[in-house]
């Protein structure tokens, strides 16, 4: 039985490039579980070449995995609200930059626009955080979003407590269980894991 058969998932991808391989694996798992995945990429994610790969190659891999074109402009992301075609939106990875923007109502990237457009329909958003400052400068934004209606978090933990004590990362293998709970209006528990 496919767990997400017929579920339309908006998948926002932001610039935590070191997680892209992991996110691609999870995209394939979503599709294997029957989800129709609509990828949305931030400007950085869709335009920057890094040591983790060329932007053009990532777009090609994501479009091949989902069977859908990447949404990479504000103009293409904005209709997500009025058309209300998504059942749920996932932001994975969600960088500290994007976390801060969505917590404070800033809508200047395709992923931020998709988040705002989707959330206005009262439907769930799942965040898979990946940021070096989640337990410092971005802790307040994390708190704001933890308290926001219809926003749910993939369980996360410190990724390297000794060398990077303020850095947190989602357990990406928990995206599907988090989606299943969010679709029922519940935050999966526990949300904090020991690293």
Between CA 173 and CA 56 the distance in angstroms is 25
- What pLDDT score was predicted for residue 195? 63
Q: 99: pLDDT confidence band, cut at 50, 70 and 90?
A: very high
**pLDDT beyond 90 at 132:** yes
- Is pLDDT above 90 for 98? yes
Determine the Cα–Cα distance for residues 20 and 11; give it in Å rounded to an integer: 12
- Dihedral of the CA atoms 114, 118, 123, 128 (nearest 10)? 10
Model confidence over 164-184: pLDDT tens digits? 999 999 999 999 999 999 999
Tokens of 186: 């519940």
pLDDT tens sequence across 40-60: 999 999 999 999 999 999 999
Give the separation between CA 134 and CA 129, rounded to whole angstroms: 8
Q: Mean of the pLDDT values across residues 134-142?
A: 97
DSSP string, 47-82: H--BTTB-HHHHHHHHHHHHSSPPB-SHHHHTTHHH
What is the rounded average pLDDT of the residues 94-119? 97
Signed CA dihedral, 133, 19, 42, 81: sign only: negative
Which strand (E) or helix (H) includes residue 113?
helix 110-119
Alpha-carbon span 168 to 178, nearest angstrom: 17
Distance, in Å, from the CA atom of 43 to the CA atom of 105, rounded to the nearest integer, reads 17
% of the chain residues with pLDDT over 90? 97
For residues 155-161, average pLDDT: 95
pLDDT tens-digit map of 23-33: 999 999 999 99
């Amino acid at each position: 039985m496919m767990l997400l058969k017929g579920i339309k998932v908006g998948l926002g991808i932001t610039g935590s490039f070191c997680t892209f391989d992991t996110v691609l694996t999870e995209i394939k798992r979503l599709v294997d579980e029957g989800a129709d995945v609509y990828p949305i990429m931030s400007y950085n994610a869709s335009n920057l070449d890094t040591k983790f790969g060329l932007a053009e190659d990532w777009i090609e891999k994501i479009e091949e995995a989902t069977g859908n074109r990447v949404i990479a402009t504000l103009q293409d992301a904005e209709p997500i609200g009025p058309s209300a075609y998504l059942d749920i939106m996932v932001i994975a990875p969600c960088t500290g930059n994007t976390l801060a923007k969505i917590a404070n109502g800033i809508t200047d990237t395709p992923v931020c626009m998709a988040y705002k457009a989707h959330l206005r329909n009262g439907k769930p958003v799942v965040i898979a955080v990946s940021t070096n400052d989640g337990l410092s400068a971005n802790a307040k934004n994390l708190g704001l979003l933890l308290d926001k209606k219809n926003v749910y978090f993939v369980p996360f933990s410190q990724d390297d407590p000794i060398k990077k004590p303020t850095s947190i990362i989602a357990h990406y293998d928990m995206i599907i269980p988090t989606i299943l709970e969010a679709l029922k209006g519940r935050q999966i528990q526990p949300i904090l894991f020991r690293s």
